[in-house]
Structure 1
Amino acid sequence: MTDRSQITLFSGGHKGAETEFGRHAQIWGIKEVNYTFEGHTVERSQNLVVLSQEELKKGDISMEIVSKRMCRTYAKTDKIRKVIQSIFHMVNNGYQVFAIGWIQPDNTVKGGTGWGVELAKLFNRPVSVYDQDRKSWFSWKDNNWVQDTPAISDKSFAGTGTRNISNDGIQAIKDLFERSFGPAGQE
Structure 2
Amino acid sequence: MNNDPSQFTLYSGGHRGAEAEFGKLAEKYGVKEVNFSFEGHTIERDTGIRMLNQEALEKGNISMDIVSARLGRSFSKGNKIRKVIQSIFHMVNNGYQVFAVGWILPDKTVKGGTGWGVELGKLFNRPVFVYEQDRKAWFSWVNNEWQMATPVIHHKNFAGTGTRNLTDDAAAAMQDLFERSFK
TM-score interval, smaller chain: over 0.9
Q: Provide the rounded CA distance (Å) in 1 between the counterparts of 2:76 and 2:160.
A: 26
Q: Provide the rounded CA distance (Å) in 1 between the counterparts of 2:147 and 2:78.
A: 32
TM-score (norm 2): 0.98
One-letter amino acid matched to 1:68: A
For 2:65, the equivalent position in structure 1 comes to 64
For the aligned residue pairs, the C-alpha RMSD in angstroms reads 0.7
1:18–1:160: 8 Å Cα contact kept in structure 2?
Answer: yes
Q: Provide the rounded CA distance (Å) in 2 between the counterparts of 1:3 and 1:95.
A: 17
Write out per-residue CA displacement over residues 32-52 of structure 1, whole angstroms, 9 at most, x where no aligned residue. 000000000000000101100
Structure 1: where are the runs of 5+ without partners? 183-187
Deviation for aligned residue 1:76 = 4.3
1:35–1:49: 8 Å Cα contact kept in structure 2?
Answer: yes
1:63–1:77: 8 Å Cα contact kept in structure 2?
Answer: no
One-letter amino acid matched to 2:12: S
One-letter amino acid matched to 1:130: Y
Segments ≥4 residues shifted beyond 2 Å: none
Q: Provide the rounded CA distance (Å) in 2 between the counterparts of 1:34 and 1:69.
A: 25
Deviation for aligned residue 1:2 = 2.0
**1:50 and 2:51 are equivalent in the alignment:** yes
| Alignment map for 1:86-125 (pairs within 5 Å) | 86-125=87-126
One-letter amino acid matched to 2:14: G
1:15–1:43: 8 Å Cα contact kept in structure 2?
Answer: yes
Secondary structure of 1:98's aligned partner: strand
Deviation for aligned residue 1:127 = 0.3
Deviation for aligned residue 1:75 = 2.2
One-letter amino acid matched to 1:15: R
One-letter amino acid matched to 2:167: S
Secondary structure of 2:138's aligned partner: strand
For 1:159, the equivalent position in structure 2 comes to 160
Give the total of aligned pairs: 182
For 2:7, the equivalent position in structure 1 comes to 6
Task: Determine what percentage of the aligned residue pairs are the same residue.
Answer: 66
Secondary structure of 2:55's aligned partner: helix
Deviation for aligned residue 1:78 = 1.5
For 1:185, the equivalent position in structure 2 comes to none
Structure 2: where are the runs of 5+ without partners? none
Q: Provide the rounded CA distance (Å) in 1 between the counterparts of 2:143 and 2:48.
A: 35
